[in-house]
Each structure stands twice: as C-alpha cells, then as structure tokens.
Structure 1
Amino acid sequence: MTRTPPLYALARHTIGRYLHHSWRPAVTGLHHLPDAGGAILAANHLSVADQLFLGVLTPRHIAFWAKAEYFRAPGPRGFLTRRVVTGMGAIPVERGGGRAALTAFDAAVPVLRSGGLVAVFPEGTRSPDGRLYRGRTGAVRLAHQAGVPIIPVGIRGTDRVRPPGSRFPRRHPISITFGPAIPVLIETPADIRRHTETLMAAIQSLTRQEYVQHYARP
C-alpha cells in the first residue's frame, strides 16, 4: 500500500469528520477495494462534492487531478497553493487538448504502477441533469497502460448537497458504492469501447441512473 500524504490524512481527519457528522454518508462494497496494489476508481460525476466524499469514505489515499497551473502558481498565495496540491498527492493536468491533455495520464501511470489509487470520472464532466452520460475511453486506456483493474463506483445524492440557486450546502442522504473490479485486456481497438461500455453499465447498476448514449457537454 502506498503512503498517505500527511496533509491528505489531516484533511480526512478534519474535513472528513465534519462531512461524516453533517451528512452521515453511507458506504458499501469496500471489500472490492484491494488492500494493496494499484487500481482506478471510476465513478459517475454529479457534483464538485464527489471528490470530497469519495476521498473521505475510501480508506486508502486517492490521487485526484489538479490544474497544472496550481503546481507553478507564483507569489505567497501561489506558494500555499503549491504546498496544498503537492501535499495532497494530486496529479497535474495541463489544460488544452492533444498531447497536453495526455500528460495527465502519463503522470498517473507511475502512481498506479507503484500501487496507488487514481480517481477518474469517465463522463469527463459533471452530469447536467443527474443522468449518466456516455463514458469516454480514457479510464480504460489508462488501466491498460498501467496494467491495473478498474473499480466502478456509484455516487448518489451529492447533486442535492448544493442544488442550483442555493447559497449554502443542504443535508441530503449521500451514498457511495464500490463494485467488483473490472479487469482490462485490450487486443483490438474495438476492445477499448467495449470495456468502456461495460464500465458504464457497471456504474449504472450501482446508481440506477438513466443512461444517455451521447457525451455530456462541459
């Protein structure tokens, strides 16, 4: 098992206690998480709160993504930002498409190969209406490149924590369910989409969301 960064552990102890006390989130399927070894946690994406609850309810450290600008922010405030993202074990993401976007996956591969967990939201953006949208193939490609399985994760209720128009967070039942690991074996290009559809079906079985056959718009 990889080492949990001290700042991440502190956030889990402080922010995590607040989230547990205020929302009392439910978690099931933790036995599907490996005690050691790398894996991708692939979840549906309802809210910015998804990362918070996923990080709190998962007993192992999860490497999340952060804008690359945060890692090189200037000035005193930038220094604090850099300390936070590095102290949380975040993975830098370059904005823009093409090769710049792929560097995020390149940075995630050694994390996975060294036994870490990496969170991916296959929809690519938050659901605009609570439905589950067509999955992008990045999670499957990353799993194949790193040689790790994908664990589907179903998140429910986070979209009701702060619905549109509300100024403050609201208490609403939150649940996170981990499903059985999905091994990834790619022999032909068609396998990439096939595995992605299998993954999205597994996520849907955990969330019971309506599935949409096209991509969600950012």
Structure 2
Amino acid sequence: MELVYPPVILAAKAMFKTLGLRINVQGAEHIPDRGGAVIACTHHSYLDFIFCGFGAQPAKRLVRFMAKKQVFDHRVSGPLMRGMRHIPVDRSAGKAAYEEAVRQLRRGEVVGVFPEATISRSFTVKELKSGTVRMAAEAGVPILPMAVWGTHRLWTKGRPRNLTKRGIAISIRVGSPFAADEDASLDTSTKQLRGRMQQLLDGIQADYPSKPADGEDPWWVPGHLGGTAPTPEEAAELDNRHREDD
C-alpha cells in the first residue's frame, strides 16, 4: 500500500496551482500501464524529478527515482524518499543501487533515471552514463526517453531560485519505448538513447510557448538557439571548476 507517495503528489499539484504553472504533457500514452520500464529524462533543474514523475501520472504509474544518498540522509527529505521507495545512490558504491534498480524493474516498477548524472548548464543533452541502458537490458524492460523543459526557469545550477514568478510554462514529452540492442555495444545503445533524448528536447524547445521578453537576459535559452546559456564546452569547464554535487 502506498501511504506516502499519493499525499506528496497532491502537495506537488497544489504547488503547481499556487505557482500558476502551465504544464503540458505529451506522449504519456507510451508509458505502459503495467510492467517494468526505465524513464530516462533530461536534467536541467533541481526540480526535474517532480515533473518527470508528473509525466507518468496520466498512465497512473508511480516512478521510483534513483537519487543521491545525501537526500535520504536529510531529516526532512529522507523519510519522504524512503516512504516513496526511491533508490539511494552512494556514488562511492554504486553497485548496490544498480542491483536494487534491477530488482524493482523486474518486480514491474517504473524507475526514473537522469543518465547525464548532473545538471546540464548548457540546456542541451550531455554525454550519458551507460548504466541506464545496462539496467534496462539486464531487467528485460523498455527504455522511455523523456525531455522536460522550463523547469530550469524555476531553479537550476548557478541561478537563484525563482519560485514566485507565476505562469511559467513547463513542457514534458515522452518518446516511444525502445529496447537496448542486445547485439550492439553499451556505447552504441547509449548513443542511441542520447540521440532520442536530444530529439525530444529539440522538439519541445522549438514548440515552447514562451520567449524572453524584450530587454530580458535570455539566460535560460541555449546558445545554439540565440540565448546566453553556456555552450556545452563552457558548461563542462564550469563543472570542472566547481565540482559541486547535483
């Protein structure tokens, strides 16, 4: 029985209403109504897990996220994370988290993963870790690429939180499921996943209903679309310089 997750979802929806967020979900029909699956989501904001999970709500699925162990150790977030049966990741000993994720997938759970591992400062898709493809292949479940856009305008790395501005648009798009090619290398399948995630992101960026106002710093728009966000190369340099946890 789920005692913690449903109230948390209701609280999140109340927050969405308070902020007047304009949330648009497309492609939720790709999420299976039963059975295991891995959701592989883009990562631009500290709040992405909330909206990635919201993207599975039309299918009435609860997503078990892999998240850093420190979140589980916190006196407030820890009990909630454990109550929602999310998966703690100790970066110094990641094997246990990987094995738990595979067990949950085999039990028919949907596991949420951010394969870039850290927030993308360039608002493009970074190189992916191969663990997402590996766990899906081992558990014998499909991978669902997902892109979320607009969440970084609320709270992202290197910018102050903005939880007072109302009416920000949040776009969530789920791609069609695919299976890692058993005859291909992990590297090949991971590149395929990255391509699918980038294609989804390109689509929702092109369709996004908001543009920077005249005179506004377009910091939240990627450089290749005319914004002032760091290029992928500049973002990598910033990450190397700061080495902060996400």
Instruction: State whether TM-score is above 0.5.
Output: yes
Structure-2 residue corresponding to 1:148: 141
Q: Is the 8 A contact 2:41 2:52 kept in 1?
A: no
Structure-2 residue corresponding to 1:197: 191
Percent of counterpart pairs with the same letter?
32
Q: Which of 15, 18, 22 is the aligned partner of 1:18?
A: 15
Q: How far apart, in 1, do the equivalents of 2:113 and 2:142 lie?
A: 13
Letter paired with 2:63? I
C-alpha change, 1:165 and 1:35, in structure 2 (3 Å) is: closer
Deviations 1:122-161 (A, max 9, x none): 1111001212111121110111111111000011111111
Structure-1 residue corresponding to 2:211: none
Q: Is 1:104 aligned with 2:110?
A: no
Q: How far apart, in 2, do the equivalents of 1:156 and 1:70 lie?
A: 23
1:168, distance to aligned residue in structure 2 (A): 3.2
Structure-1 residue corresponding to 2:111: 118
Q: Which structure 1 residue ranges, 5 or more long, are not aligned?
A: none
After the TM superposition, which parts of structure 1 deviate over 2 Å for at least 4 consecutive aligned residues?
Answer: 65-71, 80-83, 162-168, 185-188, 209-213, 215-218
User: TM-score normalised to the size of structure 2?
Assistant: 0.74
Q: How far apart, in 2, do the equivalents of 1:154 and 1:82 lie?
A: 26
Q: Secondary structure at the match of 2:94?
A: helix
Letter paired with 1:121? F
Q: CA RMSD in A?
A: 2.5
Q: Secondary structure at the match of 1:132?
A: coil
Letter paired with 2:25? V
Q: How far apart, in 1, do the equivalents of 2:68 and 2:178 lie?
A: 28
Q: How far apart, in 2, do the equivalents of 1:165 and 1:212 lie?
A: 17
Q: How far apart, in 1, do the equivalents of 2:179 and 2:135 lie?
A: 12
C-alpha change, 1:196 and 1:115, in structure 2 (3 Å) is: same
Q: Is the 8 A contact 1:92 1:107 kept in 2?
A: no
1:9, distance to aligned residue in structure 2 (A): 0.7
Q: Which structure 2 residue ranges, 5 or more long, are not aligned?
A: 206-223, 225-230
Q: Which of 18, 34, 52 is the aligned partner of 1:54?
A: 52
Please say which of residues 104-113 and 17-26 is displaced more in the overlay.
17-26
Q: How far apart, in 2, do the equivalents of 1:162 and 1:68 lie?
A: 21
Q: How far apart, in 2, do the equivalents of 1:212 and 1:151 lie?
A: 24
Query: How many residues align structurally?
Result: 204
Q: Is the 8 A contact 1:148 1:184 kept in 2?
A: no
Q: Is the 8 A contact 2:37 2:111 kept in 1?
A: yes
